[in-house]
Amino acid sequence: MVIDKEKNISVDPTGKKPGRGAYVSLDPDKIAYAKEKAIIEKSLGAKVPDEFYDELYQYVDHQKARKELFGDK
């Protein structure tokens, strides 16, 4: 994920978007925990909308499923 100068937060699967980036776990439960405890907000110093958490959770859940299905390719 990445936060830009305007404090817009987005999922960044390529790792190439401009801004301050952060890696996240591919465990959906950890994303839910991060939302509950406002961990991402504290780390980035910005308000994180619920919609972003929903998008991040879906992305992580999808990536976890792909990893389980196809392995570490």
Q: pLDDT tens digits for 16-67?
A: 999 999 999 999 999 999 999 999 999 989 999 999 999 999 999 999 999 9
Residue 73 has pLDDT above 60, yes or no: no
Q: What DSSP character marks residue 5? A: T
Cβ atoms of 3 and 44 within 8 Å: the answer is yes
Enumerate domains of the chain plus CATH numbers: 2-70 (3.30.1230.10)
In 3D space, the residue among 25, 24, 19, 26 whose CA is nearest the CA of residue 2 turns out to be: 19
- 9 φ, ψ (degrees, to nearest 5): -110, 135
Residue 72 has pLDDT above 80, yes or no: no
pLDDT of 71: 82
3-state secondary structure of 58: helix
